[in-house]
Amino acid sequence: MPPRSPAPLRSTHQSYSVACFPVLLLILLASLGVRPVGAADLVITEGYLDRTPSSGPLVMKGERGFSFTGNPGNGLFPILNECNAGDAPCGPGDRISLLGAWSSLDLPGSATLDGVGYPKVGDIASLSVEFSGSLTLPAFRASATVSAPFTFAGRFSYPNGRESLVGGGIVTVMLVPHNLPGRWRVTRVLYEFGARLPSPWVSTDIGAVGTPGRASLLNDTFTIAGDGADVWGTGDAFRLTYKPLSGLGEVSARVVRAEKVWPVPSYAAAIPNGYAKAGVMIRDAIDSGSRSVILDMKPNGELELMARYAPSEPTSYIAGALTAGTDVWLQLARRNGGEVTASYSTDGRTWSLLATISIDLAADALGGLAVTSHDAGALYAALFDNVTVGTLQDLPNLLTRGGFEEYDPPALGPPGWISDDALRQVPAKSETHQPRSGEKNGACWTTGYFDCGIYQEVNAPWSGRYSLRVYATADRSGGLVGANVNGATAATREVDVRSFDDYALYTMEFTATAGDLIRVWMYSPPVPGYVVIDDASLMPVAVPMVREITSGSWTIDGAPFGAFTLQGADFTLQGTYEYGDVEPLTSCRNGCLAPITIGLRSVFANDTPSTIMTFARGSATIGGYTYLPFVEFTGAVTLNGGLVMLPQPTSTSYPFLVTASAPFTLSGTLKGYKVSGVFEPHLQFELPLHGTGTATVEMLAGPGSSGATLLQFYRLHYDFGPE
């Protein structure tokens, strides 16, 4: 069904106010640092527009030291007026425009560009801005928060010239019930600009495009907008956001939402071209005719797997599937022998194999996210999260003949798989009837009411975590796959009922001690039908040991919002999290008067599985193995910094930063979980850590009562390395 157009939008004319101290803080933040001159457009990399019925600051920071802080007044911002009107046109399923536009005297404030200040924007300088986007309102309930990508365009005029501003990010709309039954009222609309992509991420237009694309990363979510004719034929035209993918590896992401948002008509949501695409890609190079594989989703929810097998040759359509069009996980995995498998999931837990192909991609390929509008001059924007582009260590498969290829059907037997004839009524067998890959698979078939089983046993080579991956399918319920350790069940999953030759991947993790007997097995119930398996693997997960942090940082701001990058001899951890115990923030939450002595201690603690998905996430590579698709961090880590004295500042030119430093020590354990659902966390690793370095606290000084200086927490930064 095509998107619904909103009711005609009306201008909103309101005045707004903003608290003095936060604005002074943001002016200070926006003015720190001047960057070299960039491209013709100035990219807005940080900031926000926060609109409620009674307030609405706009804060921006971008290239060439550009900054702006102001308070939009009269202008065009229809959503608050329309959704909160007496007739309340905003209901579940309505697609609404998120247009916001202000210009000239409607947008007073102060700005900086190239180190020059313009304290009276709207007088000696002027600014015009337009936010563009659209979203579909969710099902009705007590309250809701819904997000979508947005694009931004603006123009800053000043005595010596005029600059074009561009950007994008994520808009979040907060909803409560209207006084009319079943209708939504908007309480807040928050546009957050995305920051530049962190290294080693790169975003570029491939081939000829009409409008340059954009890419940003904010809160682990990529917003990517791309123009271009298509990914098809002998040459492509699209936007690619990528990282190096050397050797074996996977590219996976969830397509949260995709829609055409640039340019957006003033009074209607844009309808994307039916052949627009957003998906995951592995590609030799950025040449338009490079060899490549793409698994993408079109606006109607249709998935398509396509490949160009040789440079500048026509692209081939390989396979497809139909989904609802939102919240779809896509994955391309490059394995041994030039094999690439394409899979998708609608819940992030159960994956469906779309196809497996053989393609001779470059050893040093590019893996990432691809977006094309299929509409010259228009940008198609997509939101991606759960994004992973990572290489895999070629770990040993402890199972023998995991793919059944070495058997002469229907034979089984050591070394490898054994039919459980001692306990089951029908023997298991190898066969060529419906292999997932290769020519053979394992199977249990019965035309009567008899059960069947197959297993393989190995001795655990060391103590730690093990990962079992089994592909299986069945034509009736009751089938099981799993593992036992010394005769006790360690992990088990029920095999889904699926169509013929439609395998699902089942991944389980468990703990074993060196020398334990691990039995991997499949069970078929005493009901007519079959259960079949193929391509089973049992691999060790990294063994815990204390790792020394040799470089990196851990930063906490006033949210408190934490972000860390930790590196050692054989590991790299990157993550973000919300909340936590931060001593200087607690001491000066409401401001404290100088002079004062405070400690630089903070704690990350998260050992409650039910909060994993909202608390902390990131990526991890340990011992050359990259954990995919992403990691939910738990555990407990203490960053124990010393005491510092924050003196009474002598300056009264507020605001300014007061800093102090002291040595610190990090100790604790970070755990990584893969979450297959809110209540199904699976432990991936447990990593004891130790590190030292220098902690620096930054406090914002402002005027207090009776001439005193009021200090408010701004940031706490831990830098690893020599103290």
Q: pLDDT category, 21, cuts 50, 70, 90?
A: very low
pLDDT value, residue 268 = 34
pLDDT value, residue 305 = 95
* Whether the predicted pLDDT of 26 surpasses 60: no
3 state SS for 290-306: CCEEEEEECCCCEEEEE
Residue 461 tokens read as 């080579």
Q: Are strands 238-246 and 339-345 parallel, antiparallel or unpaired?
A: unpaired
Residue 229 belongs to domain with CATH number: 2.60.120.200
Per the domain annotation, does 155 fall within a domain? yes
Per the domain annotation, does 115 fall within a domain? yes
Q: Are 151 and 185 found together in one domain?
A: yes
Of residues 160 and 449, the one with the higher pLDDT is 449
* Whether the predicted pLDDT of 391 surpasses 90: no
Q: What is the rounded average pLDDT for all residues in the chain? A: 81
* Whether the predicted pLDDT of 125 surpasses 80: yes
Task: Provide mean pLDDT across the span 680-704.
Answer: 82
Q: pLDDT category, 697, cuts 50, 70, 90?
A: very high
| pTM more than 0.95 | no
Ranked by mean pLDDT, which of 196-205, 239-248, 690-699 comes out on top? Answer: 690-699
List, for residues 278-331, the tens digit of each pLDDT value. 999 999 998 899 999 999 999 889 999 999 999 999 999 999 998 887 789 898
* Whether the predicted pLDDT of 62 surpasses 80: yes
Q: pLDDT category, 381, cuts 50, 70, 90?
A: confident
Residue 395 tokens read as 């770990």
* Whether the predicted pLDDT of 134 surpasses 50: yes
Q: Are 290 and 333 found together in one domain?
A: yes
pLDDT value, residue 580 = 78
Residue 459 belongs to domain with CATH number: 2.60.120.260
Per the domain annotation, does 635 fall within a domain? yes
* Number of helical (H) and strand (E) elements in the chain, helices listed first: 4, 49
Task: Provide mean pLDDT across the span 633-661.
Answer: 82
How far apart are the C-alpha atoms of 691 and 695, rounded to whole Å? 12
* Whether the predicted pLDDT of 109 surpasses 80: yes
Per the domain annotation, does 631 fall within a domain? yes
- The DSSP bridge partners found for residue 214 are 225
Q: Are 573 and 526 found together in one domain?
A: no
Q: Which of 507, 540, 573 is the last residue of a domain?
A: 540
pLDDT-wise least confident of 322-336, 533-547, 575-589, 645-659: 533-547
* Whether the predicted pLDDT of 407 surpasses 90: yes
Of residues 709 and 607, the one with the higher pLDDT is 709
Per the domain annotation, does 461 fall within a domain? yes
Instruction: Give the domain extent around 471.
Output: 418-540
Residue 437 tokens read as 């890959």
Instruction: List the end-to-end C-alpha distance of the chain, in Å, as a whole number.
Output: 61
Hunting for tokens 């200070």 — which residue is that? Answer: 28
3 state SS for 182-203: CCEEEEEEEEEECECCCCCCEE
**298 — phi, psi (to 5°)?**
-90, 170
Q: pLDDT category, 231, cuts 50, 70, 90?
A: very high
* Whether the predicted pLDDT of 263 surpasses 60: no
How far apart are the C-alpha atoms of 364 and 374, rounded to whole Å? 28
Per the domain annotation, does 689 fall within a domain? yes
Residues of the chain with pLDDT > 70: what percent?
A: 84
Of residues 67 and 39, the one with the higher pLDDT is 67
List, for residues 335-352, the tens digit of each pLDDT value. 766 788 888 888 766 678
How far apart are the C-alpha atoms of 418 and 428, rounded to whole Å? 8
pLDDT value, residue 607 = 66
How far apart are the C-alpha atoms of 533 and 351, rounded to whole Å? 15
List, for residues 476-513, the tens digit of each pLDDT value. 999 999 999 999 998 899 999 999 989 998 888 787 77
Q: Are 73 and 165 found together in one domain?
A: yes
Ranked by mean pLDDT, which of 532-541, 542-551, 618-627 comes out on top? Answer: 532-541
Per the domain annotation, does 405 fall within a domain? no
Task: Provide mean pLDDT across the span 212-230.
Answer: 82
Q: Which of 487, 508, 540 is the last residue of a domain?
A: 540
Q: Are 146 and 292 found together in one domain?
A: no
Q: pLDDT category, 10, cuts 50, 70, 90?
A: very low
Q: Are 518 and 595 found together in one domain?
A: no
pLDDT value, residue 216 = 81
**Residue pair 711/646 in contact by the 8 Å Cβ criterion:** yes
Q: pLDDT category, 20, cuts 50, 70, 90?
A: very low
Q: pLDDT category, 585, cuts 50, 70, 90?
A: confident
Read out DSSP for 114-160? Answer: TTEEEEEETTTBEEEEEEE-EEE----SS-EEEEEEEEEEEEEEETT
Q: Are 118 and 215 found together in one domain?
A: no
Q: pLDDT category, 25, cuts 50, 70, 90?
A: very low
Q: Are 276 and 308 found together in one domain?
A: yes
pLDDT value, residue 722 = 67
Q: Are 568 and 528 found together in one domain?
A: no
List, for residues 247-258, the tens digit of each pLDDT value. 777 898 889 877
Q: Which of 193, 222, 242 is the last residue of a domain?
A: 193
List, for residues 161-174, the tens digit of each pLDDT value. 889 888 888 788 88
Task: Provide mean pLDDT across the span 122-145.
Answer: 83
Ranked by mean pLDDT, which of 36-45, 368-377, 442-451 comes out on top? Answer: 442-451
Q: pLDDT category, 676, cuts 50, 70, 90?
A: low
pLDDT value, residue 349 = 60
Residues of the chain with pLDDT > 90: what percent?
A: 32
Q: How many structural domains are present in the chain? A: 4
Q: Are 217 and 170 found together in one domain?
A: no
Q: Are 607 and 579 found together in one domain?
A: yes
Per the domain annotation, does 601 fall within a domain? yes
Q: Are 565 and 684 found together in one domain?
A: yes
**Residue pair 209/226 in contact by the 8 Å Cβ criterion:** yes
